[in-house]
Structure 1
Amino acid sequence: MPKEDQAEEIEVLQSIYPDELTLIDETKYRIHLALDPPQILGQPEEDPKALLLHVSYPEAYPDVAPDLDITFDEDSTSTALLSLPEDKPALLAALTETIEENLGMAMVFTITSMLKESAENLMHERATKKDQEREATLRQEEEKEMEKFRGELVTKERFIEWRKKFMEEREAAKKKAVEDEEAEGKRGQKKNPTAEEKKLTGKELWERGLAGNVDDDEEEEGIDIAKLKLEK
């Protein structure tokens, strides 16, 4: 009876998967399962993937579980979303409950549907995680940029400290301004002597050869240049 059940199931599967099922012998075959990979934001689009479900009937099937194996087809390779053989144990484990619930009945179609769903769910979960990680990274970068434009939080203690420093700097600036002004005044006095400092004695005028160049103001003041004599 199991042989007849097995042959009947293969016939049904061939009608469901006319192009996807490859019969190896009367108890072995493989089914090609095309997967729909999700798109990860900011990443190149994933190439279409396909799994091969390898099925082998034990003599007592369907009263016992079929022997199963999972591989990629020849055009598919491992990526961040799905990797074989690394993900094979998890994919096979996801079929355990389905197999146990269907013992005694033809179950390969149900197993095939569950495998496709599990593989695509796994890829979607990883894609979602990648998107979340990318968004978290972008938020961190935005926070770093925003920190550049945020001022330091003002507290009473910080204000008092700032005011003290400000007053000290202002007093220092005032003191320096006064010192600079005084220094400038002294330099101006040296460059511009007073009228008294400019006035020379008759002897100084004679010695410097200025006797003939005295202006009218000095004559009005009663200085008679002609009467000046050298002091001995």
Structure 2
Amino acid sequence: MGKEEQIEEREVLDSIFPDEITDISDNEYRISIQLDLLDNENEGDEPTEPPTIILHVRYPDDYPDEAPILDLSPPQNAVPHPYFSVAGDKAQLLKDLEATVEENLGMAMVFTLVTTLKEAAEQLVLDRREVVAKVREEALLAAEREENKKFHGTPVTPETFWKWREGFLKEMEEKRLNEEEEKLAELKKAKVKEPVRLTGRQLWERGLVGKVDEDEEDIPTEQIEKLKVEA
């Protein structure tokens, strides 16, 4: 009875998956299952080829009263997908099939298993995309909040006001003292002048002294003015 049901199911699967099913032996075959995914659902996603799962099915003698022996593998030279890996997700996907197997014991179940496997894998990808989208959204919001801080400034409180006032008054006092020191230095510089000295000839020409040598040491004009007064 089991063999007849196996042959009948295999013929039905040939009509459903004409290009996807490949025989390995009389009681073993594999089915290629390509996931239906919408690329670029999230901004920033790079276009990728939808992943494919190879479902290996082997009938035990008492199938369908006994569960089929199942395995999963990726196709050769499979292009890595950012949200799905047959090797990494294999254990989880096979576990997801256990309930379907139990519910369908005694009936041909491979088509149902293919459908369940495809939906479970697509849901994994969808869940991971949503997680990445949330992380990306939170990062953008955090960056936006950080940017907005530049336009709000520091909130003014009594403590921050008095601290600012103290610093401002100190800065103004230092500035005033510096300006006063600069003005005082300029006044001192203006009062100290080098006395003007006249040569011996200039003294003689002015009739202040007798004839002197031209090389005689210069005499400060302050002394000359004193001589004029005494004269």
TM-score between both structures, scaled by the size of structure 1:
0.78
Equivalent residue in structure 1 for 2:54, among 35, 44, 52: 52
Structure 2 counterpart of 1:118: 120
The match for 1:2 is 2
**Which amino acid in the other structure matches residue 15 of structure 1?**
S
Q: Distance in 2 between matches of 1:78 and 1:174?
A: 72
Aligned position for 2:203: 210
Task: Name the CA distance, whole Å, in 1 between partners of 2:178 and 2:24.
Answer: 100
TM-superposed CA distance for 1:46, in Å, is 1.5
Partner residue of 2:139?
137
Q: Secondary structure at the match of 1:41?
A: coil
Matched letter for residue 209 of structure 1: Q
Distance 1:10 1:42 in 2: 43
1:99 pairs, out of 87, 98, 101, with: 101
Structure 1 segment 10-159 matched on structure 2, within 5 A:
10-37=10-37, 38-39=39-40, 41-159=43-161
2-side partners of 1:206 and 1:30: how far apart?
A: 124
Distance 2:16 2:86 in 1: 26
Letter matched to residue 22 of structure 1: T
Which structure exhibits the higher relative contact order, with contacts defined as CA atoms closer than 8 Å and separated by 6 or more residues?
1
SS in structure 2 opposite 1:95?
A: helix
Runs of 5+ unmatched residues, structure 1: 199-203, 215-227
2:217 corresponds in structure 1 to: none
Checking the alignment, whether the CA contact within 8 Å between 2:20 and 2:32 is kept in structure 1 is yes
Contact 1:77/1:83, CA 8 A, preserved across alignment: no
Superposed CA RMSD: 2.9
One-letter amino acid matched to 2:99: E
Question: 2:31 and 2:205 mapped to 1: Cα distance?
Answer: 130
Give distance in 2, aligned partners of 1:213 and 1:63: 145
- Structure 2 residue ranges without an equivalent (≥5): 208-227
Measured after TM superposition, the shift of residue 79 of structure 1 is: 3.4
Summarize deviations over 1:168-219 as a string: whole Å, max 9, x none: 111121122112111111112224x8xxx88xxxxx97957235359xxxxx
Same amino acid, percent of matched pairs: 41
Q: Describe the SS at the equivalent of 1:81.
A: coil
Give the conservation status (yes or no) of the 8 Å contact 1:205–1:211. no
CA deviation vs aligned residue, 1:126-173 (integer Å, no higher than 9, x gap): 222223223333344444444455522322111101101111111121
- 1:6 maps to amino acid: Q
Q: Contact 1:5–1:106 at 8 Å: present in 2 too?
A: yes
